[in-house]
């Protein structure tokens, strides 16, 4: 294999909560993300410290309007088509389909919206790649059941999954269950809608919620395979290898342990059982998981078809307290600054070769096709006097990563496709800002919700178009 395979799925990735807006339109219920304010007020909520189940008058919530994809999807999809997209990764908002999460019947207007979006994609020969849960849970499920800490969510999620598989069985073949499932351990409200009370054992609750999501994911795989015979249903990992800071075996062991915190999820989803190291970790940390009798079979019999992953950065770890002081900012995983690498304006390490290493590592471990479903540079874009954004820095970042992805393919790694994150500027998940832009398309909107929402092509638009046109021959 000298380059990208024929039929390689080039495209971009977005998520409902960061693009759609229309947060209560056509019967949609409130979702967890609709309770996330911006900047410094956002982080405590993401960690599970929620003060109100209703939006507050005094706060600005960027998801409420986002970039108004709900009303502008035709224009946006036409622009993606102009770049030659083969695929668009997007998510369905659970609360558009079941506004309260536990409703007896789905919301027809919500179902119709995604029908319309998928039809529009088809018109342009763009294959949808759909995430069932991208960082959103209907707020009612948080309030009434405690969200994913409660086993009940498994059934409700299965109902939701079966509903959308049945409705879209002729329109969508590629699916992902939970976006960045390992994020649950770092941002529990974002990953699983978890809200903690004073003095609760957070670690115990997080792993119980993780078990519920893992069972729900397996049941979704089962349902998908039953309803859509040629479906490809994957899991999704926030990936990025952890490097030991030194050759001290303690550092090497620490790096392995840090990676296993994330691999744990994919080991279960892809291999179908809890790995030994996880059982040991639970035992040593007093974590007792409640499991039902059939859970082990459900997990074993319904493993994923492929491994989706996001890649932005690699990480560095050390057991030396002195070295540990030198952290990079802005990365929820926490990392020591890598002395060999630059960081983005938000402190995220830029490591193109890390993508090749990570892809090889995942393929060695699972021997299943991979899909790079997120990658990109969050940067400040300033339009010049003619209103153009000359984003050479973004082109450079993507170019370097694509070169390394090509190397990984030459190493023998089976990669189905690449969807760069935020092909159009969208709301940042971690900060809620619009200023942190990833797109090939500029959206006129600022951090406080001002702007016309007008879409303008950046320099990278034509560059990516050429990449796709030449199937990655011209990077």
Catalytic residue among 180, 374, 404, 433: 374
32 binds ligand BG6 (CB under 6 A): no
Binding characters for ligand BG6, 1-30, by CB under 6 A (x = yes): --------------x--x------------
Q: Which of 107, 140, 147, 179 is close enough to bind ligand BG6 by CB under 6 A?
A: 179
Q: Which of 399, 430, 456, 471 is close enough to bind ligand BG6 by CB under 6 A?
A: 430
Residues touching ligand BG6, count (CB under 6 A): 15
428 binds ligand BG6 (CB under 6 A): yes
239 binds ligand BG6 (CB under 6 A): no
Nearest CB to ligand BG6, comparing residues 44 and 249: 44
310 binds ligand BG6 (CB under 6 A): yes
Segment contacting ligand BG6 (CB under 6 A): 152-160, 292-300, 313-321, 425-433?
425-433
Active site residue 325: no
Binding characters for ligand BG6, 361-400, by CB under 6 A (x = yes): -------------x---x----------------------
317 binds ligand BG6 (CB under 6 A): no
238 binds ligand BG6 (CB under 6 A): yes
Least distance in Å: CB of 431 to ligand BG6? 6
180 binds ligand BG6 (CB under 6 A): yes
Least distance in Å: CB of 429 to ligand BG6? 3
314 binds ligand BG6 (CB under 6 A): no
Least distance in Å: CB of 241 to ligand BG6? 16
Least distance in Å: CB of 402 to ligand BG6? 18
436 binds ligand BG6 (CB under 6 A): yes
Nearest CB to ligand BG6, comparing residues 127 and 374: 374
Q: What string of H, E and C letters represents the secondary structure of the chain?
A: CCCCCCCCEEEEECCHHHHCCCCCHHHCCCEHHHHCCCHHHHHHHHCCCCCCCCCCCCCCCHHHCCCCHHHHHHHHHHHHHHCCCCEEEEECCHHHHCCCCCCCCCCHHHHHHHHHHHHHHHHCCCEEEEEEECCCCEHHHHHHHCHHHCCHHHHHHHHHHHHHHHHCCCCCCEEEEECCHHHHHCCHHHHHCCCCCCCCCHHHHHHHHHHHHHHHHHHHHHHHHHHCCCCEEEEEEEECCEEECCCCHHHHHHHHHHHHHHHHHHHHHHHCCCCHHHHHHHHHCCCCCCCCCCHHHHHHHCCCCEEEEEECCCEEECCCHHHHCCECCCCCCCCECCCCCCECCCCCECCHHHHHHHHHHHHHHHCCCEEEEECCCCECCCCCCCCCCCCHHHHHHHHHHHHHHHHHHHCCCCEEEEEEECCECCCCCCCCCCCCECCCEEECCCCCCCCCCCEEECHHHHHHHHHHHCCCCCC
Could you list the residues that contact ligand BG6 (CB under 6 A)?
15, 18, 135, 179-180, 238, 310, 374, 378, 421, 428-431, 436
Mind telling me the catalytic residues?
Answer: 374
């Amino acid at each position: 294999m000298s380059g990208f395979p024929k039929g390689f799925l080039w495209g971009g990735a977005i998520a409902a909560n960061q693009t759609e807006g229309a947060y209560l339109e056509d019967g949609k219920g409130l979702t967890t993300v609709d309770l996330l304010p911006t900047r410094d007020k956002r982080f405590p909520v993401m960690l599970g410290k929620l003060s109100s189940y209703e939006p507050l008058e005094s706060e600005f919530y960027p998801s409420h309007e986002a970039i108004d994809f709900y009303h502008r999807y035709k224009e946006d999809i036409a622009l993606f088509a102009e770049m030659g997209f083969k695929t668009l990764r997007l998510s369905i908002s659970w609360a558009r389909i079941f506004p309260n999460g536990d409703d007896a019947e789905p919301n027809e207007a919500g179902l119709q919206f995604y029908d319309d979006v998928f039809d529009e994609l088809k018109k342009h020969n763009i294959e949808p790649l759909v995430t069932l849960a991208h960082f959103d849970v209907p707020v009612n499920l948080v309030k009434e059941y405690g969200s994913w800490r409660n086993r009940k969510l498994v059934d409700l999620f299965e109902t939701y999954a079966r509903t959308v598989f049945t409705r879209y069985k002729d329109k969508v073949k590629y699916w992902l269950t939970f976006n960045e499932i390992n994020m649950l351990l770092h941002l529990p409200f974002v990953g699983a809608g978890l809200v903690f009370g004073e003095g609760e054992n957070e670690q115990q609750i997080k792993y119980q919620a993780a078990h519920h999501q893992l069972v729900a994911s397996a049941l979704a795989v089962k349902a998908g395979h039953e309803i859509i015979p040629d479906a490809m249903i994957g899991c999704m990992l926030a990936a990025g290898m952890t490097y030991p800071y030194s050759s001290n075996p303690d550092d090497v062991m620490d790096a392995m342990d840090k990676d296993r915190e994330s691999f744990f999820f994919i080991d279960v989803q892809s291999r179908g059982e809890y790995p030994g190291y996880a059982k040991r970790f639970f035992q040593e940390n007093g974590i007792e998981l409640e499991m039902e009798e059939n859970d082990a079979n459900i997990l074993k019999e319904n493993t994923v078809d492929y491994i989706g992953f996001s890649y932005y950065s690699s990480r560095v770890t050390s057991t030396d307290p002195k070295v540990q002081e030198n952290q990079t900012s802005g990365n929820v995983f926490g990392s020591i600054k890598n002395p060999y690498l630059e960081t983005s304006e938000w402190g995220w390490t830029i490591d193109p070769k890390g993508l090749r290493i990570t892809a090889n590592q995942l393929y060695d471990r699972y021997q299943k096709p991979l899909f790079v479903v997120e990658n990109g540079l969050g940067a400040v874009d300033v339009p010049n006097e003619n209103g153009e954004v000359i984003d050479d820095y973004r082109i450079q970042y993507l170019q370097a990563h694509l070169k390394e992805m090509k190397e990984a393919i030459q190493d023998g790694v089976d990669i189905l496709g690449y969807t760069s994150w935020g092909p159009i500027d969208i709301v940042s998940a971690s900060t809620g800002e619009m200023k942190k832009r990833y797109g090939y398309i500029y959206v006129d909107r600022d951090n406080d919700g001002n702007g016309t929402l007008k879409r303008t092509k950046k320099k990278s638009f034509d560059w990516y178009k050429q990449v796709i046109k030449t199937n990655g021959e011209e990077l």
